[in-house]
Amino acid sequence: QITLKESGPSLVKPTQTLTLTCTFSGFSLSTSRMGVGWIRQPPGKALEWLALIYWDDDKRYSPSLKSRLTITKDTSKNQVVLTMTNMAPVDTATYYCAHRREGSSGYYIFDSWGQGTLVTVSS
């Protein structure tokens, strides 16, 4: 059974850097075609994909947020860390991490999600 859990601050000030950790179990990020992604959801709004890291350390970022995001993994700890710089009130959202599966026939899905963590950006 795959489980993921996000952790990090619930409140950050404008201009600060947000660091979120995703701790997972039930799979290894050293297994081919596995990955972990980050997705956020502002209150009452739609899901927005942020970043993704694959088993081979390939990293992908949302084009609109690429300059502010960094994703890393620690395979030995089963953790993935997302940092987002220069936080602003519009970044207030629930941040989810999710298990990424890449199918052999070319599909890409998030088949297990963490519970999410609400991050509020306010002075």
Partner 1 sequence: SYELTQPPSVSVSPGQTASITCSGDILGNKYACWYQQKPGQSPVLVIYQTSKRPSGIPERFSGSKSGNTATLTIRGTQAMDEADYYCQAWDSSTEDVFGTGTKVTVL
Angstrom distance (rounded) from CA 16 to CA 119: 12
Beta bridge partners of 7: 21
Q: Cα separation of 118 and 81, whole Å?
A: 16
In whole angstroms, what is the distance from residue 105 CA to residue 12 CA?
41
Contact flag: residue 61 with partner 1 (CB under 8 A): yes
Q: How far is the CB of 76 from partner 1 (least distance, A)?
A: 26
* Residue list 93-122, contact with partner 1 (CB under 8 A): 96, 103, 105-111, 113-116
43 scored as a contact of partner 1 (CB under 8 A) = no
Among 39, 81, 93, 119, binds partner 1 (CB under 8 A): 39
From start to end of the chain, where are the E strands? Answer: 3-7, 11-12, 18-25, 34-41, 48-54, 59-61, 69-74, 79-84, 93-102, 108-113, 117-121
From 14-22, 24-32, 40-48, 77-85, give the range in contact with partner 1 by CB under 8 A: 40-48
Q: Which stretch binds partner 1 (CB under 8 A): 9-17, 18-26, 55-63, 75-83?
A: 55-63
List residues near partner 1 by CB under 8 A. Answer: 37, 39, 46-49, 52, 60-64, 96, 103, 105-111, 113-116
